[in-house]
C-alpha cells in the first residue's frame, strides 16, 4: 500500500451536518488537490410558494429548515414588513430578537457539542494524550458508547434553553408567532421574570462547562495573545480551553482557509433602528490590514452553471431569480446554486458577523491566522458569550402591557426583501406578489454561499477551496481533516436545497 493516497474519493453520507451532503475529492500525494461539493437533494420551496396567499409564507417558510426556522420566519416577516411599511413596536422587536437569538445560540451549542467535537473522539486520534478526555467529554451517541458527559449536559442545557421558545413563540421549530408587525405572543410581567431565570440557567452552563469563566471575561479577551495567555493558564479547564489544546496539537489553524472575504447582513435590529451586530463585508487578504464596508445587496447574484437548475440568461439577482430543475444539464453536480457578491466568493457565518461588528478578538485572530477551522469555531463560541448578555438586556427592556404587535395592512401588490442572519450566516428572502397572491419567492441561504459549486468563471465555492490541501492519511476513505473543515462551516443542506 502506498503511503501517499492518490486518486478519487467520494465521501458520503456526510453526517452531523443538517441534511444531505456529498463531497468528491481528487487526492494527490496525500493531499486534497480539488474538491466538489454536492447537495444531493432538491426540495422546491421556491416553486411551491407562488400562487399562495401572501401571509401563507409565514407558515411555509419556517419549514424550509428545522434548525433555523425562526431565522427563515424573520426573513419572510421582514420581507413582508418591507413591502407593507410596518415596524414592530419595541416590545415586539425585542421578542423577535430573543426568539432568533435563542435559536442561534442553541445552534452554536449543538454544533460544538453534537456535530463538531465528536470528531476528536475518533479512533485515529487514540494515541494523542488528550484523547481519553475528549471521549469522556464529547463522545457521540452510538451503539455501545455512552454519550460524552459534556455532550449530555449540553443537550440538557439546550432542552431547558428551548423552553424560552415555548413561552416566546408557542413551539420550536416552526413557530408562527413571528409576524411582520412584531410577535403574536405578548409577554406578561411574571413571564418576563421566568424567562430571565432561564437566561441565567444558560449563563450558568456556559460559565461552568463551556468557558469555565464569566461570559464578560471571555468577551473581554482582546487579541490572540490574550487568548493564548488565558488558554495557557489552565489548558484543560472548560471546553473552550480544551478545544484550543486539541486544536494546537492537531494544528487545526492550518486547515480550511476561507476565501478572505466575509459577508454579514447584520443581526438583531433595535427599536432605535440600529443593529446589535452590524452588517458588513470584510476583506482580510493575508499580511494586509482588514477592511470593512457596508454590503451592497444589489451586487448579489446566483449562478446556476453547475447546478441541476435552469440557468438561461446567466447569473441573476434573487429579485429576478428562477429556480427550476434541469436534471440532465451537463457539467452540473449539485442542487445548490452559486451565490456571488459582485461576482466574488464570500464566506458567511459567525466569523463574518463578528468581523463585521468589529469584535476585537476575532478581528485579531483572523488578521493573524486567517479564517480557518479554529477561528470559525472560536467566533461561534465568542458569539455565545456576547449575545447572551444582550438577550438579558433586551428582556430587561420589555415593558409588560405595552404592545408587542403593530397591525399591518399588506397592500394588494407588493415587493419586498428580508435580510437577516441565521446562525450559519447571511440569509435573504426576496418576494413579490399581486392580487394578494405570491408571484415570486427566492431564498439565498447561508450554506448556499459557503457550499456553493463552481460558477461560470470556474471559481470554486468557499468550502471547495477550503478543502484544497487537506491531508488524507493512508487508508482513510472519509478523511478526518476533511470532516473538521466541513463541520467548521456547520452546513445546513436543507436550507441550501430549500
Instruction: Give the footprint of other proteins on residues 50-109 (CB under 8 A).
Output: 50-51, 53, 55-56, 58-60, 63-67, 69
The dihedral sign for the CA sequence 215, 220, 222, 228: negative
The Cα 482–Cα 471 span in angstroms is 8
Identify which of residues 120 and 230 has a Cβ nearer to other proteins in the complex.
120
Distance CA 495, CA 422 (A): 10
Are 424 and 490 contacting, i.e. CB atoms less than 8 angstroms apart? yes
Q: How far is the CB of 221 from other proteins (least distance, A)?
A: 30
The string of DSSP letters for 158-199 reads HHHHTHHHHHHHSSSSS---EETTEES----HHHHHHHHHHH
> Concatenated DSSP letters for 413-447?
SEEEEEEEEETTEEEEEEEEEETTEEEEEEEE-HH
Closer Cβ to other proteins, 280 or 425, answer by number = 425
Answer for which of 116, 172, 394, 449 binds other proteins (CB under 8 A) is 172
Give the integer Cα–Cα distance in Å for 497 and 64: 9
Binding site annotation covers 498?
yes
Select the span of 216-224, 440-448, 463-471, 476-484 touching other proteins (CB under 8 A).
476-484
Q: Is 431 in the site for other proteins (CB under 8 A)?
A: no
Radius of gyration in angstroms for the set of CA atoms belonging to the chain, rounded to a whole number: 22
329 binds other proteins (CB under 8 A): no
- The answer to the question of whether 368 is labelled as a binding residue is no
Q: How far apart are CA 382 and CA 212, in angstroms?
A: 13
Say how many residues touch other proteins, by CB under 8 A.
Answer: 89
Residue whose C-alpha is closest to residue 119's, from 407, 458, 432, 482:
482
Among 230, 333, 404, 430, binds other proteins (CB under 8 A): 404
Where in 212-271 is the site for other proteins (CB under 8 A)?
none
Task: Give the nearer residue to other proteins in terms of CB position, either 174 or 237.
Answer: 174
Answer for the pair 399, 102: CB distance below 8 angstroms, yes or no: no
Among 5, 90, 173, 280, binds other proteins (CB under 8 A): 173
Which DSSP string corresponds to 267-333? EEE-TTS-EEE--EEEE--TTS--EEE---GGGEEEE-TTBSB--TTSSB-GGG----B-TT-TT--
Stretch that binds other proteins, among 173-181, 282-290, 378-386, 453-461 (CB under 8 A): 173-181
CA distances for 74 relative to 93, 269, 421, 473, angstroms: 11, 11, 9, 44
- If one asks whether residue 26 binds other proteins (CB under 8 A), the answer comes out as no
Residues 485 and 256 sit within 8 Å (Cβ to Cβ): yes
Of residues 65 and 263, the one with the C-beta less far from other proteins: 65
Q: Is 477 in the site for other proteins (CB under 8 A)?
A: yes
Rounded CA-CA distance 327/331 in Å is 11
Contacts of other proteins in 6-25 (CB under 8 A): 10-16, 18-22
Nearer to other proteins, 181 or 259 (CB): 181
Q: Is 492 annotated as a binding residue?
A: yes
Looking only at the bridges linking them, the beta strands covering 280-283 and 275-277 are: unpaired
Check residue 489 for interaction with other proteins (CB under 8 A): no
**310 sits near other proteins (criterion: CB under 8 A):** no
Write down the least CB distance from residue 53 to other proteins, Å.
4
Could you tell me the smallest distance in angstroms from the CB atom of residue 227 to other proteins?
29
Q: Binding string, 348-377, against other proteins, x = CB under 8 A?
A: ------------------------------
Query: Min. distance of Cβ 16 from other proteins in angstroms?
Result: 6
In the range 111-140, which residues lie near other proteins by CB under 8 A? 114-115, 118, 121-122, 139-140
| Comparison of 52 and 369: residue with beta carbon closer to other proteins | 52
- Phi, psi (rounded to 5 degrees) for 69: -65, -35
| From candidates 29, 188, 216, 296, binder to other proteins by CB under 8 A | 188
Please tell me the number of Cα atoms within 13 Å of 278 on its side-chain side.
12
Nearer of residues 187 and 356 to other proteins, judged by Cβ: 187
DSSP 243-257: HHHHHHHHTGGGS--
The three grid cell numbers given for residue 77, joined into one nine-digit string: 416577516
User: Could you tell me which residues are annotated as the binding site for Mg(2+)?
Assistant: 46, 443, 498
Query: Which residues does the annotation place in the binding site for Fe cation?
Result: 68, 495
Residues annotated in a binding site:
46, 65, 68, 443, 492, 495, 498
Amino acid at each position: 500500500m502506498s503511503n501517499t493516497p492518490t486518486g478519487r474519493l467520494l465521501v458520503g453520507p456526510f453526517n452531523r451536518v443538517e441534511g444531505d451532503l456529498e463531497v468528491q475529492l481528487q487526492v494527490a500525494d496525500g493531499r486534497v488537490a480539488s474538491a466538489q461539493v454536492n447537495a444531493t437533494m432538491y426540495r422546491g420551496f421556491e416553486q411551491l410558494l407562488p400562487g399562495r396567499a401572501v401571509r401563507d409564507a409565514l407558515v411555509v417558510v419556517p419549514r424550509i429548515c428545522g434548525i433555523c426556522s425562526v431565522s427563515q420566519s424573520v426573513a419572510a416577516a421582514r420581507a413582508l414588513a418591507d413591502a407593507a411599511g410596518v415596524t414592530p413596536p419595541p416590545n415586539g422587536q425585542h421578542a423577535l430578537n430573543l426568539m432568533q437569538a435563542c435559536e442561534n445560540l442553541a445552534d452554536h451549542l449543538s454544533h460544538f457539542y453534537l456535530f463538531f467535537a465528536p470528531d476528536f473522539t475518533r479512533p485515529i486520534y487514540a494515541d494523542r494524550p488528550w484523547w481519553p478526555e475528549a471521549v469522556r467529554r464529547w463522545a457521540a451517541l452510538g451503539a455501545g458508547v455512552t454519550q460524552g458527559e459534556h455532550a449530555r449536559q449540553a443537550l440538557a442545557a439546550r432542552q431547558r434553553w428551548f423552553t424560552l421558545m415555548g413561552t416566546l413563540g408557542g413551539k420550536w421549530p416552526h413557530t408562527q408567532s413571528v409576524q411582520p408587525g412584531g410577535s403574536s405572543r405578548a409577554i406578561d410581567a411574571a413571564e418576563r421574570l421566568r424567562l430571565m431565570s432561564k437566561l441565567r440557567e444558560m449563563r450558568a452552563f456556559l460559565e461552568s462547562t463551556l468557558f469555565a469563566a464569566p461570559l464578560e471575561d471571555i468577551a473581554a479577551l482582546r487579541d490572540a495573545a490574550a487568548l493564548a495567555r488565558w488558554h495557557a493558564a489552565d489548558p484543560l479547564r472548560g471546553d473552550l480551553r480544551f478545544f484550543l489544546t486539541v486544536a494546537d496539537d492537531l494544528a487545526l489553524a492550518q486547515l480550511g482557509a476561507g476565501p478572505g472575504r466575509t459577508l454579514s447582513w447584520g443581526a438583531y435590529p433595535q427599536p432605535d433602528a440600529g443593529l446589535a451586530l452590524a452588517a458588513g463585508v470584510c476583506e482580510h487578504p493575508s499580511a494586509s490590514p482588514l477592511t470593512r464596508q457596508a454590503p451592497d445587496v444589489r451586487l448579489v447574484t446566483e449562478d446556476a452553471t453547475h447546478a441541476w437548475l435552469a440557468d438561461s440568461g446567466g447569473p441573476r439577482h434573487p429579485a429576478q431569480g428562477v429556480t427550476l430543475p434541469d436534471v440532465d444539464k451537463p457539467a452540473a453536480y449539485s442542487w445548490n446554486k452559486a451565490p456571488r457578491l459582485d461576482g466574488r466568493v464570500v464566506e458567511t457565518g459567525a466569523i463574518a458577523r463578528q468581523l463585521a461588528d468589529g469584535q476585537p478578538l476575532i478581528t485579531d485572530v483572523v488578521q493573524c491566522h486567517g479564517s480557518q477551522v479554529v477561528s470559525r469555531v472560536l467566533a461561534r463560541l465568542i458569539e455565545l458569550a456576547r449575545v447572551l448578555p444582550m438577550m438579558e438586556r433586551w428582556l430587561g427592556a420589555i415593558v409588560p402591557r405595552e404592545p408587542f404587535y403593530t397591525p399591518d395592512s399588506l397592500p394588494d401588490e407588493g415587493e419586498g426583501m428580508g435580510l437577516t442572519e441565521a446562525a450559519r450566516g447571511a440569509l435573504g428572502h426576496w418576494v413579490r406578489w399581486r392580487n394578494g397572491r405570491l408571484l415570486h419567492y427566492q431564498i439565498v441561504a447561508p450554506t448556499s454561499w459557503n457550499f456553493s459549486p463552481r460558477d461560470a468563471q470556474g471559481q470554486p465555492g468557499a468550502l471547495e477551496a477550503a478543502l484544497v490541501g487537506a491531508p488524507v492519511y493512508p487508508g482513510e476513505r472519509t478523511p478526518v481533516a476533511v470532516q473538521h473543515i466541513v463541520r467548521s462551516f456547520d452546513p445546513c443542506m436543507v436550507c441550501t436545497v430549500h
